[in-house]
């Protein structure tokens, strides 16, 4: 079997929970099949956990930087034996545009990636759902209502307006037998761009996330999002831009 080229950046993104779940599963399958790759992955992961232990002694951040945003949600990690004061990590975070090596070979994965760093939205699917169906549902569905997609459902939780005037829609994607996804899409020049996507934690006993939607809340808060009234939502959706 030909070994696939996997970059350190990809291994690190896997370790940091920055890959979309499907991409993460595919890459992890490669990792566990190749102990040398697994060791690179483990070392990259371990540096992060070592640095977490440095928290109290770490050098101060550069003064020009504003205070760091709080971490957003916790990695499923079992019942702690003692209180863990480590701020939670998002699991997973946004999917990222990665080097072509692994993702290209994995085939079809590029279209699965969400957001593309907020710059491009060329994919044809998101979390396995047709992006066209999602876009139509986001443009037509009122907050609180549900739209049927091929293979699942999309429920719009709320609409928000960003500081720059863009309309964003907070929604969930669900499919039978899967925990589902929390997502935020914002409309930019008439097109919906996925700006946040996170898998809901599976309901495994003892492995519950610390908070469900805190990560979306923090994400929206960081971007100065304001809630939109039903009337305003109707007008904004009708304006279509």
Partner 1 sequence: MHEIGTNPQGYAAPSQAAASAFATELIALLPRLRRYTMTLTRSASESEDLAQAACERALRAQAQWQEGTRLDAWLFSIARNLWIDQLRKRQREGASEALDLHPELQGEDGRQVTESALTAGSVQQALEEMPSEQRDLLLLVCVDGLSYRDASDRLSIPIGTVMSRLSRARLGLARRLGMEPR
Residue numbers 170-209 binding partner 1 by CB under 8 A:
204, 206-207
Q: Which is nearer to partner 1, 117 or 144 (CB)?
A: 117
Binding mask 89-128 for partner 1 (x = CB under 8 A): xx--xx-xxx------------------xx----------
CB of 101 to partner 1, least distance (A): 13
Q: Which is nearer to partner 1, 154 or 201 (CB)?
A: 201
Of positions 2, 59, 176, 240, contacts partner 1 by CB under 8 A = 59
DSSP string, the chain: -PPPP--HHHHHHHHTT-S-HHHHHHHHHHHHT-HHHHHHHHHHHHHHHHHHTTTTTSPPPPTTSPPPPPP--PPP----SS---SPP--SS-------HHHHHHH-S-GGG--GGGGT----SEETTEEHHHHHHHHHHPPTT-EEEETTEEEEEEEEEE-TTS-EEEEEEEE-TTS--EEEEEEEETTEEEEEEEEEPPP--TT---S-SSHHHHHHHHHTT-EE--HHHHHHHHHHT-
Q: Does 45 bind partner 1 (CB under 8 A)?
A: yes
Q: Does 1 bind partner 1 (CB under 8 A)?
A: no
CB of 222 to partner 1, least distance (A): 8
Residues 61-90 contacting partner 1, CB under 8 A: 61-62, 65-66, 68-72, 75-78, 80-84, 86-90
# chain residues binding partner 1, by CB under 8 A? 73
């Amino acid at each position: 079997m030909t070994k696939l080229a996997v970059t350190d950046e990809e291994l690190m993104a896997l370790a940091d929970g920055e890959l979309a779940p499907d991409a993460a599963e595919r890459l992890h399958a490669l990792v566990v099949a190749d102990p040398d790759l697994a060791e690179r992955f483990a070392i990259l992961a371990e540096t992060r956990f070592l640095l977490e232990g440095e928290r109290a002694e770490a050098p101060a951040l550069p003064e020009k930087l504003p205070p760091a945003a709080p971490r957003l949600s916790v990695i499923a990690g079992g019942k702690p034996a003692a209180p863990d004061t480590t701020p939670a990590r998002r699991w997973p975070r946004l999917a990222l545009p990665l080097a072509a090596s692994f993702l290209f070979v994995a085939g079809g994965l590029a279209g699965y990636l969400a957001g593309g760093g907020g710059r491009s939205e060329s994919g044809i699917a998101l979390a396995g759902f047709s992006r066209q169906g999602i876009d139509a549902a986001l443009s037509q569905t009122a907050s609180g209502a549900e739209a049927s997609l091929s293979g699942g459902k999309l429920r719009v939780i709320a609409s928000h307006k960003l500081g720059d005037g863009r309309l964003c829609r907070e929604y969930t994607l669900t499919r039978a037998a899967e925990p589902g996804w929390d997502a935020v899409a914002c409309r930019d020049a008439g097109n919906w761009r996925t700006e946040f996507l996170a898998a809901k934690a599976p309901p495994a006993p003892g492995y519950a996330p610390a908070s469900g939607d805190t990560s979306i809340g923090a994400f929206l808060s960081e971007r100065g999002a304001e809630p939109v009234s039903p009337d305003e939502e109707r007008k904004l959706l009708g304006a279509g831009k």
